């Protein structure tokens, strides 16, 4: 039987050292979009895994930034897969009160001391705290209670374009694991935890209408707009084509068979939604997103069902012709839009472009190009899964009843774990708080208060979660 109390005490006694480790990791820049410090950060992470006692700890070359793979063999019965993103967002024209890579500790009411740094909360701060917790277990107990396969990528902020290359390389190993754990700082400012058991899928596309592909309109460059009298317009063509894709309100997709594969919410999902209705306050979201009215002025349960179980078709951006100040009279030779669609069970990413292609062809727009830029599948883990139940039991011990969402509205590449061939459940876990991700003065709470865990308590929660899972009865 492990001495959890001794591990907790060890964490308390090594607080300063652990803060230093968090600072060390944060001070190593790893801006994937600018290729700034990325390789160095991957090497630092590899070294952390080696210091932990991983006999395997290696960089994984990809067509982009390297991943990191490591394996900690505890000789244990259970094995978890751990996900890490080690890259961070760029600093572009932002005013920081403390330099973004100095990892200075400042006081920020009501949280006490916090670390200010790019990546402080998203997600290098909590990740190093998680490694601190593992080191503490090993220091006290000699080894971890589970085997761990570490999978890290350095391109999350780019949309994880090469993450599949990392997962594919170790698929045969990963599929032998029992569960996945993503350890972070899950508390909001009030100390509450929102837990999502999955995510929607996504397909991100560009649609382009050009005179060249059409064989009409200007073929090579924007021409003087007086020619509109005799020259067709690729811009009008795209407007007309796009308008056929949705109802006049822009909210129903008029593409044949687009909704065909969508499954109704499962019984478990409906139960989770019913619990959510009581605690969900849409006014917080309205304030956060500066939205005054939801589609159809939906409320409560209907709002949640629509948010969670609707596929979407969104225009992320559109551009063509002259977009500067004042007047310039041109007939543009092409126009492009970016579009994303969110996928709910049981939509499949591979169907989307063919459906849109067929729609455009049917309406006579076979020349309009559809380019897929990215695609993830939706992902779901059951609340009944042992890894989820183990995590919930630890939260309960800390007096926290998390708000559990069946999945989130956004997308992530978690299907690479939860779908075959790897096919394991996955759960996010951990106390702690931070904020201002992707923004100036991004922070991670070190001291904490009566609602929000500081670093020590966060590390303790990681220890507890690991043991809770190790001791949880295996799923049949």
Residues 330-389 that bind its own copies (CB under 8 A): 330-333, 335, 338, 340, 342, 373-374
Q: Count of residues for the chain?
A: 476
State how far the Cα of 468 lies from the Cα of 461, in Å rounded to an integer. Answer: 10
Shortest Cβ 44–its own copies spacing (Å): 26
Give the number of other CB atoms < 10 A from CB of residue 48: 25
Part of the chain binding its own copies (CB under 8 A), chosen from 168-176, 266-274, 324-332, 443-451:
324-332
State how far the Cα of 371 lies from the Cα of 238, in Å rounded to an integer. Answer: 15
Give the number of other CB atoms < 10 A from CB of residue 144: 24
Shortest Cβ 267–its own copies spacing (Å): 22
Shortest Cβ 226–its own copies spacing (Å): 4
Site for its own copies, residues 246 to 305, rule: CB under 8 A: 246, 248-251, 289-295, 298, 303
Site string for its own copies, 173-202 (x = CB under 8 A): ---------------------------x-x
State how far the Cα of 57 lies from the Cα of 45, in Å rounded to an integer. Answer: 9
Site for its own copies, residues 229 to 248, rule: CB under 8 A: 229-233, 235-237, 239-240, 242-243, 246, 248
Q: Which CB, 145 or 234, lies closer to its own copies?
A: 234
Candidates 322, 350, 384, 396: give the one binding its own copies (CB under 8 A): 322
CA 405 to chain CA centroid, nearest Å = 15
Site for its own copies, residues 420 to 459, rule: CB under 8 A: none
State how far the Cα of 336 lies from the Cα of 235, in Å rounded to an integer. Answer: 9
> Whose CA is closest to 463, among 113, 34, 140, 102?
140
Shortest Cβ 396–its own copies spacing (Å): 29
State how far the Cα of 295 lies from the Cα of 277, in Å rounded to an integer. Answer: 18
Q: Which CB, 270 or 374, lies closer to its own copies?
A: 374
State how far the Cα of 320 lies from the Cα of 324, in Å rounded to an integer. Answer: 11
Q: Which CB, 144 or 202, lies closer to its own copies?
A: 202
Shortest Cβ 339–its own copies spacing (Å): 9
Are residues 400 and 387 in contact, defined by beta-carbon separation less than 8 angstroms?
A: no
DSSP secondary structure code for residue 227 in this structure? G
Candidates 159, 164, 191, 265: give the one binding its own copies (CB under 8 A): 159
The residues, ordered by sequence, that sit 6+ positions from 81 with a Cβ below 8 Å of its Cβ are: 148, 149, 151, 174, 177, 179, 180, 181, 417, 422, 424, 426
> Whose CA is closest to 170, among 152, 194, 145?
152
Shortest Cβ 139–its own copies spacing (Å): 41
The residues, ordered by sequence, that sit 6+ positions from 296 with a Cβ below 8 Å of its Cβ are: 251
35 to 30, 157, 273, 455: CA distances (angstroms):
7, 12, 42, 29
Shortest Cβ 175–its own copies spacing (Å): 29
Computed over its alpha carbons, how large is the radius of gyration of the chain?
25
Q: Which CB, 149 or 308, lies closer to its own copies?
A: 308
Are residues 180 and 427 in contact, defined by beta-carbon separation less than 8 angstroms?
A: yes
Shortest Cβ 308–its own copies spacing (Å): 8
Q: Which CB, 18 or 359, lies closer to its own copies?
A: 359
Does position 71 bind its own copies by CB under 8 A?
A: no
Q: Which CB, 176 or 329, lies closer to its own copies?
A: 329
Question: 3-class SS at 282?
Answer: helix
The residues, ordered by sequence, that sit 6+ positions from 253 with a Cβ below 8 Å of its Cβ are: 245, 246, 259, 311, 313
Candidates 227, 389, 393, 449: give the one binding its own copies (CB under 8 A): 227
Shortest Cβ 375–its own copies spacing (Å): 10
Q: Which CB, 123 or 136, lies closer to its own copies?
A: 123
Q: Which CB, 44 or 374, lies closer to its own copies?
A: 374
Provide the β-strand partners of residue 369. 208
Q: Which CB, 159 or 265, lies closer to its own copies?
A: 159
State how far the Cα of 149 lies from the Cα of 217, in Å rounded to an integer. Answer: 56
Total interface residues for its own copies by CB under 8 A = 79
Shortest Cβ 328–its own copies spacing (Å): 7
Q: Which CB, 1 or 288, lies closer to its own copies?
A: 288
Q: Which CB, 99 or 364, lies closer to its own copies?
A: 364
Candidates 107, 190, 283, 323: give the one binding its own copies (CB under 8 A): 323
Shortest Cβ 313–its own copies spacing (Å): 8
| Packed helices 455-471 and 386-397: angle between N→C axes, nearest 10 degrees | 140
């Amino acid at each position: 039987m492990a001495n959890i109390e001794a591990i907790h005490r060890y964490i308390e006694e090594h607080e300063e050292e652990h803060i230093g480790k968090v600072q060390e990791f944060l001070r190593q820049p790893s801006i994937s979009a600018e290729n700034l410090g990325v390789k160095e950060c991957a090497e630092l992470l590899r070294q952390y895994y080696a210091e932990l006692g991983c006999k395997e700890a290696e960089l994984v070359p990809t067509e982009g930034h390297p991943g990191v793979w490591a394996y900690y063999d505890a000789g244990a019965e259970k094995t978890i897969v751990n996900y890490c993103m080690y890259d961070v967002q760029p600093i572009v024209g932002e005013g920081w009160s403390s330099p973004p890579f100095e990892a200075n500790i400042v006081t920020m009411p009501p949280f006490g001391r916090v670390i200010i740094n790019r990546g402080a909360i998203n997600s290098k701060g909590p990740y190093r705290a998680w490694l601190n917790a593992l080191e503490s277990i090993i220091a006290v107990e000699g080894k971890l209670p589970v085997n761990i396969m570490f999978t890290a990528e350095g391109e999350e902020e780019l949309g994880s374009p090469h993450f599949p290359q990392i997962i594919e390389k170790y698929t045969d190993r990963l599929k032998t694991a029992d569960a996945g754990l993503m350890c972070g700082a899950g508390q909001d400012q009030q100390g509450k935890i929102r837990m999502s058991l999955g995510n929607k899928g996504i397909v991100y596309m560009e649609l382009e209408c050009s005179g060249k592909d059409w064989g009409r309109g200007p073929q090579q460059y924007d021409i003087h707009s007086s020619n509109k009298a005799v020259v067709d317009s690729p811009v009008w063509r795209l407007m007309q084509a796009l308008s056929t894709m949705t109802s006049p309100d822009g909210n129903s997709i008029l593409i044949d068979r687009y909704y065909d594969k969508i499954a109704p919410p499962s019984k478990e999902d409906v139960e989770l939604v019913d619990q959510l209705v009581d605690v969900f306050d849409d006014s917080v979201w309205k304030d956060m997103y500066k939205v005054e009215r939801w589609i159809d002025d939906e409320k409560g349960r209907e709002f949640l069902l629509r948010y969670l179980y609707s596929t979407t078709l969104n225009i992320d951006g559109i551009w063509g012709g002259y977009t500067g100040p004042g007047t310039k009279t041109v007939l543009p030779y092409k126009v492009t839009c970016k579009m994303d669609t969110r996928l709910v069970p049981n939509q499949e990413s591979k169907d989307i472009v063919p459906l849109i292609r067929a729609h455009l062809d049917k309406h006579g727009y076979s020349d309009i190009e559809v380019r897929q830029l990215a695609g993830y599948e939706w992902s779901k883990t059951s609340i009944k899964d042992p890894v989820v139940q183990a995590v919930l039991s630890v939260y309960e011990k800390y007096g926290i009843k998390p708000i559990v969402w069946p999945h989130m509205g956004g997308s992530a590449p978690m299907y690479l774990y939860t779908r075959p061939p790897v096919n394991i459940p996955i759960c996010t876990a951990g106390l702690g708080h931070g904020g201002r991700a992707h923004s100036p003065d991004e922070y991670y709470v070190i001291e904490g208060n009566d609602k929000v865990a500081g670093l020590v308590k966060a590390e303790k929660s990681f220890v507890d979660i690991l043991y809770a899972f190790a001791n949880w009865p295996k799923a049949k």
